[in-house]
Amino acid sequence: MTIRTRFAPSPTGYLHIGGVRTALFNWLLTRRQGGQFILRIDDTDAERNRPEALQPILEGFRWLGIQWDEGPEVGGPHAPYFQSQRLQSYKDAAMQLVDSGHAYPCYLAKEALDAERKAAEVAKQNYIHRGVHRNTPPAENRRLLEANPAPIRLKVPEGRTLGIDDLIRGRVEWQADLIGDPVILRADGRALYNFATVVDDVALGITHVVRAAEHLDNTKVQVVAYEGLGAKAPTFGHVPVVNEPNSKKKLSKRDMKKFVTPEIRAKLKLVGWTDAEIESRDDLNPATVAFYREMGYLPSGLVNYLGRLGWSLDDKTEVMSLETMIANFSLDRVNDSPASFDPEKLLWVAGEHMKMLPLAGRITGCVPFLVRAKIIAEPIDEATQAKIARIVEACGERLKVFSDILQHAPVFFRDPEYDPKAVDKRLRKEGAMDLLRAAAEELKAAPSFAVADLEQVLKPWCETRGVKIGDLNHVLRVATTGQQVGIGLFETLSILGKEETLRRIEIASQIAAK
RNA sequence: GGCCCUGUCGUCUAGGGGCCUAGGACACGGCACUUUCACUGCCGCGACACGGGUUCGAAUCCCGUCAGGGUCACCA
């Protein structure tokens, strides 16, 4: 039998990092076993339902390479895949439960209910609601409902033990007597989450419900709903929640702005976002997938990291391709304790994936970041394109994410910003200026500025002068880039070219003399 | 507070009675390589929450304690 899994996001305008990890587990399981992964849009909450808020979610999945077999834009045999378009089926199902004696109308006013709940709370007792029409004959309940619409409650059986055999947690049980009868349909006919999700999962033929552990307690009510509907409950797998970095608390969708630390803000601004945009958009923070896309993370790196968060292939594999993950994924190797999101390890994994990307791909990936940061302008002429190619190549393994190019490329397109400390340390040092002038003369006479030729000229030159190549490196680097660290010196000079190199040495000499 | 879940280096994890003097990875510290940085290699730091049991033998099984988390709506 082929499996059918689903992920049911609300259109919130962003793809949450914790949610996508759950979706990924569903998807890997489905690809591994052969089956369909379904995207169902949970848009029953009118307030949160904005049509344009769906696109960022679909884009996020597409960017990561997680394709859905049925759902928005691709359709499928069980369309529609929007819960807001399936409302009638929830009503029908609820009435079916009333007719079969598994549900009943509840005429208790909300205020009275709240009062009861409050009283129980004060008395430090568990509040377990049981409506008066619980045992009214079904036909009578239906008549009541037709005459006077009311919320419908699910009848939780008494004296029973409810349980599931969770694929990740094993056997989990609840005493039915400790559960109040939940409302499944409001008086106006709108379904509640716990009911709509069951009705849909039955209708869509979902076989495996893999979801975050925060839903574990919902399962008991859902089990009752499946029973009432006469449907076989799917197999459940509750994956542990993802915690905030350095925390034991769930990585929440609320208050994501707090992750925008000064450092994160600086990074966002470096790639071209303004303070106003960072404030107004809710996807520009490290708890969303969009953030990593904006920072130039390779999607395969993010997927690798997220897949390894709570799941492992064996005792040593860290870096792996999507194919490897699919070929080896199973729920029994998913941990049952929460995992903390670690941005540093994510960066490392992303860097490992970047190393595996051929040069052409790295160049293509970097260009948009240079454009966005206004280092270069479109259309890009041939000379600029060639220059970028040389810079990216010279960066080598210094690039972990595409936006790292912004630490290395700008100096090749505009005058250096001289770091005062670097100038002090390297250019105002005893003998530094003499060395710099002499080197400039040598460079002026150099027949070629190709990397290999520069190296062949400068190294012996140092030797005959009794100067360490390291000292020359320091002086020339600061003189031409203003910084103490950067890509290889010979590459730097070569990309700059003779004229520009000599011009910068002149500028640096004047600055150092001040 | 009730119910439910979970406890292995700071973090992600391997382990499921003897292979454990607990392995790997990130981070951190050191050394080597090197024209700086990065990369790479080597070394180091660093954990079975606690207490009882079961057993010849427990990180592993059982019980309890403690700790952390999740959830308790006519939200999703």
A46 pLDDT above the threshold of 90? no
The set of residues, in sequence order, having a beta carbon less than 8 Å from that of A303 and lying 6+ positions away, is A24, A64, A65, A66, A322, A325
Structure confidence at residue A47 as a pLDDT band (50, 70, 90): low
Q: Which nucleotide is nearest to A195 (CA to C1')?
A: B76
Cis previous bond, A286, omega within 30: no
Share of chain A above pLDDT 70, in %: 99
Q: Which of A155, A91, A148 is nearest to A128 (CA)?
A: A155
Structure confidence at residue A127 as a pLDDT band (50, 70, 90): confident
Tokens of A101: 């004696």
Q: A256-265, A351-360, A422-431: which has the highest mean pLDDT?
A: A351-360
pLDDT in tens, A58-92: 999 999 999 999 999 999 999 999 999 999 999 99
Place of tokens 């008549």: A143
Q: How far apart are CA A140 and CA A391, in angstroms?
A: 79
Neighbours of A187 (CB within 10 A): 15
Distance A211 CA to B7 C1' (A): 22
Distance A360 CA to B13 C1' (A): 34
Q: Which nucleotides of B are covered by protein (CB under 7 A)?
A: 1-8, 10-15, 23-27, 35-39, 68-76
Distance A178 CA to B2 C1' (A): 9
Calculate mean pLDDT across residues A392-413. 96
Distance A511 CA to B38 C1' (A): 28
Q: Which of A286, A238, A280, A233 is nearest to A261 (CA)?
A: A286
Q: Give the pLDDT score at A441.
A: 93
Instruction: List, by residue number, the catalytic residues of A.
Output: 253
In terms of DSSP bridges, do strands A208-212 and A235-239 run parallel, antiparallel, or are they unpaired?
parallel
Q: How far apart are CA A252 and CA A335, in angstroms?
A: 20
Distance A46 CA to B4 C1' (A): 31
Range with the poorest average pLDDT among A247-256, A395-404, A415-424: A247-256
Q: Which nucleotide is nearest to A107 (CA to C1')?
A: B74
Handedness of CA A489, A494, A498, A504 (dihedral sign): negative
A391 pLDDT above the threshold of 90? yes
Q: Give the pLDDT score at A473.
A: 94
Distance A434 CA to B22 C1' (A): 60
Distance A129 CA to B72 C1' (A): 13
Structure confidence at residue A161 as a pLDDT band (50, 70, 90): very high
Specify which residue's alpha carbon is closest to the C1' of nucleotide B74: A186
Structure confidence at residue A48 as a pLDDT band (50, 70, 90): low
In whole numbers, what is the pLDDT of chain A averaged over residues? 93
CB A233 within 8 A of CB A206: no
Q: Give the pLDDT score at A472.
A: 92
Q: Which nucleotide is nearest to A334 (CA to C1')?
A: B13
Calculate mean pLDDT across residues A19-41. 96
A428 pLDDT above the threshold of 90? no
Q: Which of A411, A415, A430 is nearest to A471 (CA)?
A: A430
Q: Give the pLDDT score at A463.
A: 86
Q: Give the pLDDT score at A271.
A: 94
A366 pLDDT above the threshold of 70? yes
Q: Mapping DSSP to helix (H, G, I), strand (E, B) and coil, where does residue A38 land? A: strand
A125 pLDDT above the threshold of 80? no
Structure confidence at residue A120 as a pLDDT band (50, 70, 90): confident
Q: Which nucleotide is nearest to A183 (CA to C1')?
A: B74
pLDDT in tens, A475-491: 999 999 999 999 999 99
Calculate mean pLDDT across residues A411-440. 91
Structure confidence at residue A123 as a pLDDT band (50, 70, 90): confident
Distance A106 CA to B13 C1' (A): 50
Q: Which nucleotide is nearest to A319 (CA to C1')?
A: B25
Neighbours of A467 (CB within 10 A): 17
Q: Give the pLDDT score at A126.
A: 80
Share of chain A above pLDDT 90, in %: 84
Give per-residue burial for A422-460: e unless 16+ CB within 10 Å, then b: bbeebbebeebbebbeebbeebeebeebebeebbebbee
Model pTM score: 0.94
∠ Cα A209 A213 A218 (to 5°):
70
Calculate mean pLDDT across residues A33-49. 84
CB A259 within 8 A of CB A283: no
A45 pLDDT above the threshold of 80? no
Calculate mean pLDDT across residues A261-268. 94
CB A388 within 8 A of CB A335: no
Q: Give the pLDDT score at A70.
A: 98
Q: Which nucleotide is nearest to A191 (CA to C1')?
A: B74
CB A305 within 8 A of CB A346: yes
Report helix, strand and coil shares of chain A as percent, to nearest 5. 55, 10, 35
Q: Give the pLDDT score at A217.
A: 94
Q: Which nucleotide is nearest to A398 (CA to C1')?
A: B38
8-state DSSP, A233: P
Q: Which of A320, A412, A322 is nearest to A366 (CA)?
A: A412
Distance A39 CA to B75 C1' (A): 21
